[in-house]
Amino acid sequence: MANIKPSLAKGTRDFSPREMEKRNHIFNTLKAVFKKFGYSEIQTPSFENLSTLTGKYGEEGDKLIFKILNSGDYLAKAPADLLDSRNANSLTKHISEKALRYDLTVPFARYVVMHQHELTLPFKRFQIQPVWRADRPQRGRYREFFQCDVDVVGSPSLLNEAEFILIYHEALSALGLRDFTVKINNRKILSGIAEVIGKPALIVDMTVAIDKLDKIGLEGVNKELLERGFTSEDLDILKPIILLEGNNEQKLAALKSVLQSSTQGLAGVAEIEEVFAYLESFGATDLLRERVEVDITLARGLNYYTGCIFEVKTNEVAMGSIGGGGRYDDLTGMFGLKDLTGVGVSFGADRIYDVLEELNLFPSSANASTTVLIINFDKTIEAYSLRLLANLRAQGIAAELYPAAVKLKKQMSYADDKNIPYVLLVGDEEMNSGNLSLKNMKTGEQGTMRLEDLVLFLKK
Amino acid sequence: MANIKPSLAKGTRDFSPREMEKRNHIFNTLKAVFKKFGYSEIQTPSFENLSTLTGKYGEEGDKLIFKILNSGDYLAKAPADLLDSRNANSLTKHISEKALRYDLTVPFARYVVMHQHELTLPFKRFQIQPVWRADRPQRGRYREFFQCDVDVVGSPSLLNEAEFILIYHEALSALGLRDFTVKINNRKILSGIAEVIGKPALIVDMTVAIDKLDKIGLEGVNKELLERGFTSEDLDILKPIILLEGNNEQKLAALKSVLQSSTQGLAGVAEIEEVFAYLESFGATDLLRERVEVDITLARGLNYYTGCIFEVKTNEVAMGSIGGGGRYDDLTGMFGLKDLTGVGVSFGADRIYDVLEELNLFPSSANASTTVLIINFDKTIEAYSLRLLANLRAQGIAAELYPAAVKLKKQMSYADDKNIPYVLLVGDEEMNSGNLSLKNMKTGEQGTMRLEDLVLFLKK
């Protein structure tokens, strides 16, 4: 065994007990909300056949997929010419048959196709698992990170879209966020705009440009639009759309007027109106007014989404989007199952973690750790302490006896470091009287009580 | 995009909603017990530097580690001679720097060494994560499976060993198992026996042979011992040890007599006695008598363990061990941190799953799924149903409205397939009267109640 100084693989992280508590706080909160809305958890394997993943994420994406080397003599079946010419790119598929999950969407599509005969549609699932990308690691970007997706397939109803807005609201509120915005757009509106201008083929160029409004302003957007094949007449038509102002009703009214000649565009507006009508029926009028914003510059994953598009940002901290998603009409087409519509959103767990940290919104660790540490004074009272320990645990109280009679200071600092809120000091006197000394580690207060009272006190 | 029929990578599994519920039932039960005993969760990355893992699992183990191909032009830096000679074995480390976690132990050792200055000892951690092995898949053996480890490092106290027996007892009982045995042995006893025979160097041969007693009987064991270098005189000494009978006290007494000339052997016996004394102090006398069994044929991971060794088996189903572990005195030595003692056990989650399945011990899925489905009769009462839905969810009840007014039969079979225990039938009459019709999907019973009563009823 080599005696090496160990290190983490680049772009990966250990999660300490305190970090796990915080991450579990996020995941457990999200899961509870997903379940309340009728979503069930699934998991897929960490690696898939390479052929399942290749070609789904574009050329750049394919490069970022981590490939797993075949076991055994993986060179035996590799074509000699590729080895001799050192053609790594073409060689890969001959020496690697498996690859690590790159996202949760493609494995989910694979799951739906493979299990189509057991699934009852609509199928509502959530999935929280790590994914891996061979990106250059940098601050806040990791090679292993968790995705958290909620999707329903097999239901065209816009009720689902409305419920995703409720899910965002309920989950982020439960995490303590107070000011966030769910932006909504619709692919059909974007298509309609390109259609009205008479340049439907330039829809991607158009959306790529107007998506940058926040960063480069109207002048910058116009410059880019001109470069991408639009004329100054087009810009005149686009300007009021890009600078669309007012509340949601005003925006939708303006869009209807601009898009009157586009059936598609009007359908997009009508979809958003139907989602809003659902929210009204839910009694979520305040939520709709305060948290939901029509934003036609929103274009995430355009090649993919076919209906409503969502993005969520917090307004309390400077941070990119903390979630997003939309409707896609051909999730499983890549695996030969056509015409299955789906809609889903995801939560950016790492960013949400950073937001909660910055706003100091994580609950204190007190509940997550051991509740009480029994100090170990000496071997003769150990038996008494062990009975006490068994009693506390039988009552469901997380408890420990320090495993050796070392110096008090060391035992106290163990409790401190582990965020244990109470220590129980049991010496001869306590053993004989049955009056136990309990110390509050936060306030330093100390008092005595009988076991029965102690149990009641600690259970609270 | 190629239109391929998708499949799972060999040896991997999808987990459906129902399977996830069952798996989570196991993991949540174990986690709750670990926490009650003061253990905290950590996680380590799915892949490690190849050098962190290589050489830790023996030559056979190294072959089973999944290696990750370097990104980019991975052949650029590969030695020409290895490529030209098609030497896959030697080439690997030049084209792969990372590998998937093979177990949780080595990454934990790496964790402890890297975080040694932040950790308060004793450090009590549990870890539940998948591991990957390039084994030939077969029934019950997967290439991706979950390990579930609980360890404490930095405490030589045998209180920890005693608590692991309690942890096994409490966790398996909480899962509904009623008849299981925790076997205990001690590496020092095995060393002592080899010492008494005068063949300390043959300890591994000896334990490998007597470990097979169950399978090949005494005659088979003796035959193998002779082949492995023991004499018939040795067999005479070994026989009463191998066939050790009686209760634990009788076995320990017999061992003390056999091992009287071996300080080491006696120390092993004394350690087991101390563990038992701790259990007595805990008031776990019945547990000790009924569930704990001294078994000196137990030798799992002998090269690794230095003190007590554990193994757990259920007596209700024919199944290999469902858990095991022991004390190791040099976990972190491989990474240059010497003399850190540890002790830990693991739970075989996949086997426990199979046992609970066979004994029908999983709780009904009723609590895990949506509690009530509101039937969608027609668009005109949708608004009323949505208010109802919002009300139920506000009370913490997992509820859904079927997202379209399709045939009743289809909606009922959705509820059925999803194991939803109740459906709410809301038509014009119900809307006008406020008397809601609730149907129990299991019994078929149907009754009407007001919303307030419905909430109280479903919350139970």
Residue to substitute from B15, B21, B59, B68, interface A, most A β-carbons within 10 A: B68
Strands A123-132 and A308-314: unpaired
- pLDDT, residue A140, reads 80
Find the residue in A nearest to B420 (Cα). Answer: A38
Q: Is A264 annotated as a binding residue?
A: no
| Mean pLDDT rounded to a whole number for chain A | 93
pTM above 0.90, yes or no: yes
Q: Using an 8 Å CB-CB cutoff, list chain B residues near A386.
A: 278, 281-283
Average pLDDT over residues B181-202: 95
Which 153-172 residues of chain A touch chain B by CB within 8 A? 155-157, 159-160
> How far, in Å, CA of B293 to CA of B312, rounded?
10
In A, residues 287-346, which contact B (CB 8 Å cutoff)? 334-336
Closest residue in B to A11 (Cα) is B45
Does residue B366 carry a pLDDT above 80? no
Residue B282 pLDDT level (bands cut at 50, 70, 90) = very high
CA Rg value for chain B: 29
For B370, which of A38, A43, A83 is closest by C-beta distance? Answer: A38
Task: With a cut of 60, say whether residue B120 has pLDDT above it.
Answer: yes
At A22-52, the pLDDT tens digits run 999 999 999 999 999 999 999 999 999 999 9
How confident is residue B96, by pLDDT bands cut at 50, 70 and 90?
A: very high
Q: Assign A276 a pLDDT band (cuts: 50, 70, 90).
A: very high
Please indicate if the annotation marks A422 as binding a ligand: no
Residues 15-34 of A with CB under 8 A from B: 15-17, 20-21, 24
**pLDDT over 80 (residue B368):** no
**What is the per-residue pLDDT for A1?**
45
Domain ranges of chain A: 24-359, 368-459
Of B344, B347, B322, nearest in space to B331 by CA:
B344
Q: pLDDT digits over B38-59, tens only?
A: 999 999 999 999 999 999 888 8
What's the pLDDT band for B331 if we cut at 50, 70, 90? confident
pLDDT at A66: 98
For residue A357, the model assigns a pLDDT of: 95
Average pLDDT of span A55-64: 90
| Cα–Cα distance for residue pair B167/B169, rounded to 1 Å | 5
> In chain A, positions 188-227, which contact chain B (CB-CB < 8 Å)?
none
Q: Is B243 on the interface with A (CB under 8 A)?
A: no
In this structure, what token pair is assigned to residue A364? 């204190």
**Token pair belonging to A325:** 């998603």
DSSP string, A320-357: S-SEEEEEES-SSGGGT--S--EEEEEE-HHHHHHHHH
pLDDT at A151 over 60: yes
A103 is in an annotated binding site: yes
Nearest to B437 by CA among B422, B451, B426: B426
Which residue from A267, A240, A239 is spatially nearest to A254, judged by alpha carbons? Answer: A240
3-state secondary structure of B393: helix
CB contact under 8 A, A44 and B14: yes
Q: Write the pLDDT tens digit of every residue in A316-375.
A: 999 889 999 999 998 899 899 999 999 999 999 999 999 999 999 999 865 568 999 999
Residues 52 to 71 of A: which have CB under 8 A from any B CB?
52, 55-56, 63-64, 66-69, 71
Greater confidence, B92 or A364? B92
Q: Hey, are the CB atoms on B42 and A132 less than 8 Å from each other?
A: no
CA distance B113 to B52: 12
Sign of CA dihedral A394, A395, A396, A398: negative
Query: At B279, is the pLDDT very low, low, confident or very high (cuts 50, 70, 90)?
Result: very high
Question: Which of B44, B45, B134 is closest, CB to CB, to A71?
Answer: B134
Measure CB to CB from residue B417 to each of A120, A387, A396 and give the nearest one.
Answer: A120
Task: Report in angstroms the alpha-carbon separations of A384 from A391, A415, B52, B162.
Answer: 11, 20, 44, 16
Residue A307: the pLDDT is 96
Would the CB atoms of A132 and B46 count as touching at under 8 Å?
yes
Beta-ladder partners of B144: B132
Q: What percent of chain A has pLDDT over 70?
A: 98
pLDDT at A3: 54
Q: Give the count of alpha carbons within 13 A of B373, CB side only.
A: 27
Question: What is the CA angle A182-A166-A326, rounded to 5?
Answer: 55
* The pLDDT value given to residue A34: 97
Rounded average pLDDT over B267-272: 98
ipTM above 0.90, yes or no: yes
pLDDT of residue A185 exceeding 60: yes
- Residue B3 confidence (pLDDT) above 60: no
For residue A4, is pLDDT > 90? no
pLDDT digits (tens, 9 = 90+) for A216-243: 999 999 999 999 999 999 999 899 888 8
Fold (topology level) of A368-459: Rossmann fold (3.40.50)
CB-CB under 8 Å, B100 with A68: yes
Res B274 pLDDT > 70: yes
Binary contact (A120, B76; C-beta < 8 A): no
Q: What average pLDDT score do residues B340-363 get?
A: 95
Q: Is A168 annotated as a binding residue?
A: no
Closest chain A CA to residue B153: A403
User: What's the start-to-end Cα distance of chain B, in Å?
Assistant: 50
How many interface pairs between A and B have CB atoms less than 8 angstroms apart? 289
What architecture is domain B24-359? 2-Layer Sandwich (3.30)
Q: What is the pLDDT of residue A364?
A: 82
Give the span between the Cα atoms of B438 and B324, in whole angstroms: 49
